[in-house]
Structure 1
């Protein structure tokens, strides 16, 4: 283990259309590099597959030489792939696979923290923006990463809402007042004859008496009283889709809970110049993570 690293920094960010122009994209790289992340879950790596994945490698280099992976875009589906980047100083790469879901593949990378035998499953997900049924299917696929006692971290744009609405600091959506009719169709489900927030992904992934994953921002916000962890993350620009909501999540299997130190939501003017989504960062006690990963099941 590198002696001057005491905290594991994990970032998750939907950079709108990969930052668009070169200058905006470089600003995104500078913002993210400032936090020196060891794991990055990226969404909307638009165009990063082209030209031998030139833009993907440029971002990984700008972030201090991280090892980058991304899902291959599929013809006729979303052209905004997901990706995972990891710090080779801390991690050994075990495997990389794409989960070929109906709209957007899940980028899944297996790593080991150096000196620790247990494999960690890292996944970057961007749930379907237009169909609650597909989002539920994608969420159930993500649960398989934690099957058989596996340890997993997931960074995602959920395009849906946390199910513990009372704990959120976001202003609640009044759907009758939402101007965009397409957004209404994309983001609501029917319950008892009424259209309400689609919270199914949150329920599938983090609900029930034995949740598969912990919503780490919710854990920090309610367990540690870090109210800033529950800051809304999107949309930071549009005003016709209701007030911003916390739809960008970092999830961990429950064994990550004792290692968590804090969660930050970065919503600065610079971030808003780059994307309509805030940057989400989780910090973990590296010694506690090392202990957690020191035995296999």
Structure 2
């Protein structure tokens, strides 16, 4: 097998701005990176006409696709590498834009290896309170179990990526600075991206804090903090704009700690603004190491290399 596995996470604006030709070009761009998994957000219209758009995207990508509830998110997978063990159509009561979540086998690991949870999510745009509740539900995907051939019930790893509509806790030296309220010109958007606390209004990093508390690690932080890691992992995923403020890293991929040793690289692939307002996040894994992890199932308490976060006020 090819020992490298590429995961692409992308919020493609309005699924190609409702332009079929632009949508085709966008997915041809993704296909050139030969991904094993694609985690997509903003899928309006993909379920219309008998899911005609989804089947067209499968054809462009050369991957099998699963469209989540209400055509909000999707997962695409190389069926020669990943095979679905079960779907999770019930994603919890709080989602404005429901995620797409699957339990998937990594075929090179063999039939007796445990699977992993793969998910694409899109947190709410306008409400920090709703984002917080959605993130708390998102943590349940890091708590799924699987019965081994020996009859033991084990917790399985999770890999989740999407648009958080919020900011990362600055756990890495080269992470972009958090914006100030004054740098966001659109006053309603100031409220969308912040929340009131006992110390005044704070920019919203709570989804990142909740996910880390639940054992889900920002893979970009992980790579940037490792010896030889590149700051390219921490590149912004949206550009600065007059209404939304400075460029920011709102699109992120998270993994439970046992998957971290398999991650070899994280970077951001910039796209032209006529195509989308978000850039691609690319995560590369060592397939041999991933197979080893899913066979051995090391403890989730293994050191992940990120310093503990202080409690949010």
Scaled by the length of structure 2, the TM-score of the pair is 0.85
Aligned residues: 281
Name the structure 2 match of 1:24: 22
Report deviation, 1:268. Answer: 3.6
1:95 to 80, 86, 94: 86
Give per-residue Cα distances to partners, 1:156-183, cap 9 Å, x unaligned.
1000010126634424312123210111
Q: Distance in 1 between matches of 2:158 and 2:127?
A: 25
Which residue number corresponds to residue 263 of structure 1? 266
How far the C-alpha of 1:295 sits from its partner, in A, is 4.0
2:60 pairs, out of 59, 62, 65, with 62
Question: 1:296: how far off?
Answer: 5.8
- The answer (yes or no) to whether the contact 2:172–2:225 under 8 Å persists in 1 is no
Matched, 1:53 2:51: yes
Q: Name structure 1 gaps, 5 residues minimum.
A: 74-79
Partner of residue 248, structure 1? 251
Helix, strand or coil: the match of 1:246?
Answer: coil
Look up the SS of the partner of 1:294 in the other structure.
helix
Give the match for residue 208 of structure 2: 202
Q: Is the 8 A contact 1:171 1:244 kept in 2?
A: no
CA distance in 2: counterparts of 1:53 and 1:253, whole angstroms: 32
Question: Equivalents in 1 of 2:205, 2:177: separation in Å?
Answer: 16
Change (3 A) 1:122 1:240: same
Which residues of 2 match residues 113-192 of structure 1 at below 5 A?
A: 113-114=106-107, 115-116=110-111, 117-147=113-143, 149-164=155-170, 167-192=173-198
Q: Provide the residue aligned with 1:76 in structure 2.
A: none
For 2:277 and 2:229, locate their aligned partners in 1 and report how far apart those are by CA, in whole Å: 26
Question: 5+ unaligned residues in a row in structure 2: which ranges?
Answer: 146-154, 299-313
**In the alignment, is the contact (CA less than 8 A) between 1:14 and 1:157 conserved in 2?**
yes
Distance in 1, Cα, partners of 2:69 & 2:139: 22
Give per-residue Cα distances to partners, 1:193-251, cap 9 Å, x unaligned: 421210110000014xxx511100111112243101100112x3632211110010111
- SS, match of residue 173 in structure 1: coil
Distance of aligned partners of 1:214 and 1:169 in 2 relative to their CA distance in 1, 3 Å threshold: closer
Query: Is this contact kept in 1: 2:99–2:120, CA < 8 A?
Result: yes
**Aligned-residue CA RMSD (Å):** 1.7
CA spacing shift, 1:257–1:102, aligned 2, 3 Å: closer
For 1:77, the equivalent position in structure 2 comes to none
Q: Tell me the CA shift for residue 285 of structure 1.
A: 0.4
1:27-38 equivalent positions in 2, closer than 5 A: 27-38=25-36
Shift of 1:256: 1.1
- Residue of structure 2 equivalent to 1:83: 74
Look up the match of 2:69: 72
